[in-house]
Amino acid sequence: MAKTNIIIRSDDWDFRFGIERYQLVHREFAKRNLVETANLQFCQHGTLTPFNETLVNYLLNTKGYDIQLHCWEHILYATMSEAVITRDLAAASYYFMKYFKRLPSVWYPPWNMVSQKMIEVADKFGMKVDNESYDIKRFIREAKEGSFSGHSFYFHGSMEPDLACLPEALDLVLALDKGVN
How far is 13 from 27, CA to CA, in rounded Å?
16
With respect to residue 57, please indicate whether it lies within any of the assigned structural domains.
yes
Domain with 65 in it: 7-177
Could you report the per-residue pLDDT of 55-86, keeping only the tens digit for each? 999 999 999 999 999 999 999 999 999 999 99
CA distance 122 to 180: 36
Question: Has residue 61 been placed in a domain?
Answer: yes
Residue 97 in this model has a pLDDT that exceeds 90: yes
Tens-place pLDDT, residues 12-46: 887 777 889 899 999 999 999 999 999 999 998 88
Q: How many CB atoms lie within 10 A of CB 43?
A: 18
Does the residue 2 lie in any domain? no
Q: What is the CATH number of the domain that holds 17?
A: 3.20.20.370
- Written as one string, the DSSP assignment of 52-120 is -HHHHHHHHHSTTEEEEEEESSSS-GGGS-HHHHHHHHHHHHHHHHHHHSS--SEE--GGG---HHHHH
CA-CA distance, 158 to 129, in Å (whole number)? 24
The reported pTM is: 0.93
